[in-house]
Amino acid sequence: MGLFGFFSRNKQETLDKGLEKTKTSVFDKLTRAIAGKSKVDDDVLDNLEEVLITSDVGVDTTLKIIERIEGRVARDKYVSTSELNNILREEIAALLAENNTGDNRNWELPTDHRPYVILVVGVNGVGKTTTIGKLAWQFKQAGKKVYLGAADTFRAAAVEQICIWGERVGVPVVKQQMGSDPASVAFDTLQSAKANDADVVIIDTAGRLHNKIGLMNELKKIKDVMKKVIPTAPDEVMLVLDGSTGQNAFEQAKQFAAVTQITSLAVTKLDGTAKGGVVIGISDQLKVPVKYIGLGEGMEDLQLFDRKDFVDSLFKNEA
């Protein structure tokens, strides 16, 4: 059982509920796409292409999926429209697997060093601090000692928010005055965490994209300073994206990937949108695995992403 395996009882139910809007939208469009057709032909494929693009899967990823289905149709000679749902499920799962997305079911913290350091990036308003708080709670529930670092020192509200989460979860937050050097906060956080034998450190950063060079230099400085305390840090650079913004989330991801190396993604707010297909496209285009998805307001509604569960839920035909 993985690190957060104790939530598995309700995981599928939460996932099904959280993806309900996306699933309903996809099925409605898919039903219209195959109306009056008994087999998958060029018309059905053209319609399917439109379904995927309008479900925020993205053009390039959609074309890959269509090409895969075309290959199956050519190989099998005859594919009925009733089979299309299962074929989509299989091909999307295979695509996610190629990008190492969704292999988190049994994820555990590394055992060769402590603490495990997560540097969190993302623009303001995507649910970054909330994701940090929920993640801290889940690590604590799993018996881990967690430290938070308030390195978004450009907004007083950001420091205040992460301190509120620290109190709520019951984990220490390392902070400095507003306007302090973010790298200094990161340094202090890692020193405190190391001295107190912490298992996990999660560090928040400023969510600014208007000055890419400044952001790139800032993140590089934070990383360099971290390594002075813990040579392996950061173990993970997690980009948080708001799934409800669809293709705008993908554009944000591309911009952050241009200024720093992203190693994992957390896609939030999927429960309030029909744009869940963006998870597929972002993973495929960036070649960065989606590690967490946010499916509601509850602490346990931040889930480790599992591609099989995700695709099964998205294409589960309950008719």
What Rg value do the Cα atoms of the chain yield, rounded? 21
CA dist., res. 319 & res. 301, Å (int): 26
Residue 174, helix vs strand vs coil: strand
Q: Quote the pLDDT of residue 211.
A: 66
CB 182 within 8 A of CB 196: no
**Alpha-carbon distance values, 197 to 96, 201, 269, 297 (Å):** 36, 11, 33, 31
Distance of CA 82 to the CA centre of its chain: 31
Cα-flanking dihedrals φ and ψ of residue 95, to 5°? -65, -45
**pLDDT tens-digit profile of 128-147?**
999 999 999 999 999 999 99
Tens of pLDDT, residue by residue over 82-106, are: 888 888 889 999 988 887 766 666 7
pTM, two decimal places: 0.90
pLDDT at 300: 85
Residue type, 35: A
Per-residue pLDDT, averaged over 278-286, amounts to 89
